[in-house]
Amino acid sequence: MATKRVLIIDDEEAIQTVVQFGVQMAAGWEVLVACTGPQGIQIAQSEAIDAILLDVMMPGMDGIATFQALQTHSKTAQIPVIFMTAKAQRSEASHFNALGMRGTIAKPFNALDLPHLIAAILHWELEP
């Protein structure tokens, strides 16, 4: 089975590091990193990506604008997107889901739990 490739789009270096560590250590998936929405869109268009973890609150192009831009491109519209947010209230989560988001992961999260959260949202099998 091919290794999953997950793109994280988040402006916080600490979050990028935690996600990379957790996903690579606990699941062995490859992690690509983007610091801005436009950079993430460019990577998603040029690489084979299995899922995107997208921060909601980013300077410039925020997560919702980034998600909407991804949805307009045929190459990226089918990639499942999971929002990562510190504002994971039920009202926001249902708003995100209405946009077409696959799920929401609340910050802060345990790095080693992250692959399980992603797998549960996307119905992926985790290798033992």
| Phi and psi at residue 110, to the nearest 5° | -80, 125
Q: What is the pLDDT of residue 92?
A: 63
Q: What is the pLDDT of residues 76-89, one digit of tens each?
A: 999 999 999 876 56
Q: How confident is the model at residue 93 (pLDDT cuts 50, 70, 90)?
A: low
* DSSP reduced 3-state for 8: strand
Domain boundaries defined on the chain: 31-122
At 49 the pLDDT is 97
What pLDDT score does 35 carry? 97
Contacts of 62 (CB under 8 A, 6+ apart): 37, 56
What integer pLDDT is reported at residue 29 of this predicted model? 95
pLDDT on residue 107: 86
| Distance separating alpha carbons of residues 25 and 65, to the nearest angstrom | 31
Mean pLDDT of the chain: 90
What does the pLDDT look like over 6-39, one tens digit per residue?
999 999 999 999 999 999 998 999 999 999 999 9
The closest of 121, 125, 123 to 105, measured between CA atoms, is 121
Tokens 């436009």 found at: 38
Q: Which residue has the tokens 């089975």?
A: 1
CATH architecture of 31-122: 3-Layer(aba) Sandwich (3.40)
Tell me how far the alpha carbon of residue 114 is from its chain's centroid: 11
